[in-house]
Every structure is written in structure tokens, then in C-alpha cells.
Structure 1
């Protein structure tokens, strides 16, 4: 039940994130004489490391996200290539981290299938892979004494902005 709840939370988060404010990069009139191009308030570094959290606690989407990667982001879960981290949300049921990538859906899915297995994860029993032209859901589990962990991936395509959105959940 917790797995289903986390996947539903991640899916609803991705859906809400895709409906964000589309006026971010349009011209904003300051007064009648001058105009100014609004800029994103957080230019993201592609080499984000765990614990990189902005101090201003701004949340442009109003979803309660903290910007940057969480300090406990597992080293054995790879960050997607050509991506930026949008932020994370932690709860007692786990952590949800969101990314946007310029890579296409197929390359992101292939990246995670390959790299998660390399890092000792197995496909979760009962959680079949789901993939179509608009998105994919992947589930992995790692057993053992070191760091037993369940990881879920919800990957969607924003065709309007030509980006792939990745939501990673783990506990």
C-alpha cells in the first residue's frame, strides 16, 4: 500500500509540476518606459551534489519542494544525464526528488535500466515496467545489510518544452 501511495504521490507531483507557470520567461513591464526580461531565480548546475540546498526556500510551483538534492541522496542512484535537479520533498514514507533532462524518454529509461542493475538493484517483483511514448514507470529493490532500499522512477515527457521529467522516489 505504501508503494502505491508513493507512486501516486510521485505521479500527481509530476502532473502538477507540468502545469507550472508558463509566463516565467515572458517580458514583464516594470513601468511604461522600461521592460525587463524575467530570469529564472535559480540557474542549476548540472553537477549537483547531495546536500546542495538553496537557503532562500523559494518554491516556484508552490508544492512544498526544497531546492537542490537532499543530503541523504543515495550515491548508488545515478542522476540523469543532461539534467537539472528541481528539488525534493521528504516525508516519513520516503523522499521524492525531481529532475528535468534534455535527453529523450528512451535514453533516460535505458540509462536507469542499465545503471540500476550495475549498482546491485533488481526489478521489484509485482512492479512491472510500464513504458509508452509519453512516459514510463520503473521499480527497483536492493537487498542486503549495507543499504536495503526501494527506488521508483516516474518518467514523463513534456512535449511543449521538449524535456523529460524524472521523479525518483526512495526510502
Structure 2
């Protein structure tokens, strides 16, 4: 149980749901993105108050995005974007006060089970030095490439497409 927020909290890993995103969700996701990425972007000398939000707005696709809700309230987002023979996991953000409670792992397991059932590899990128990389590696992702800013990871399906 995580006590960083000032005391014990209930197991949140079972109290979440996914719903389809709509166009009206873009600003909430953009704001969450700015909050979540700020520490890593500042560490890398790349934080720009406007750009961090605009990059989300420019690439937002409600069609491929789900909203993570906890107790019926907005808690995060995740996008699974098809790209040929792979799926890209993008815009996976969870409110900082909910991180460490198992929700991210539970959401990730759900999405990876779907990808496995369909035989798709899943790719993503994280900022260098991001704690999120450890989460992905625990779920079977391996480093495919990296540059001075990003680390690119891939997870092959448990049951490849025939």
C-alpha cells in the first residue's frame, strides 16, 4: 500500500474504468500531460509551457483514446493507435496522486491482453530517465532504440498473428 499521499489508501487497482474519449476531453488530457511530464522535461531542459500542451492537441485522436476514470471522475488517459502491423501506446497519463496504487499496471495489463489476443506488437516511447520505463519493462517491454531524449520500447505479442 502506498502511503506517500499522507496515509494509507485503499487498493485502487480494481476501482477504475475506461470510457471512450470525446473531443471535449482534449483540454483535460493536455493539462494532465503538462503536470505529468513537467519534471522529466525540466530535467532534460525541454519543458515549454505551451508546447507540452500543443503537442497533445495536435496529435489527439478521440477515436483511439480512452479516458481512465476512478470513482467516475477523470483520472487519466491512454491512446492505442494502430500503425500498420503494430500498435502505438501513447498519451498514457495518470494523475500524480493516483500513481503507485496499481491503476497504471491494471490498465496496461488490460490493453496488453487485447493486443495479445489480436497478435499485435505494442510500441511506445518514454523520456530518458523516466520512472515510467520501469513500469513498461515489468510488463515485458524491451528497449528497441534510444536517442538523447527518448527511449523506444517494444513488446512482442504472446501469440503472434498468423
TM-score, L = length of structure 2: 0.30
Q: Kindly indicate which of the two structures has a greater share of residues assigned to helix.
A: 2
TM-score, L = length of structure 1: 0.29
**Higher relative contact order, chain-length normalized (CA < 8 Å, sep 6+):** 2
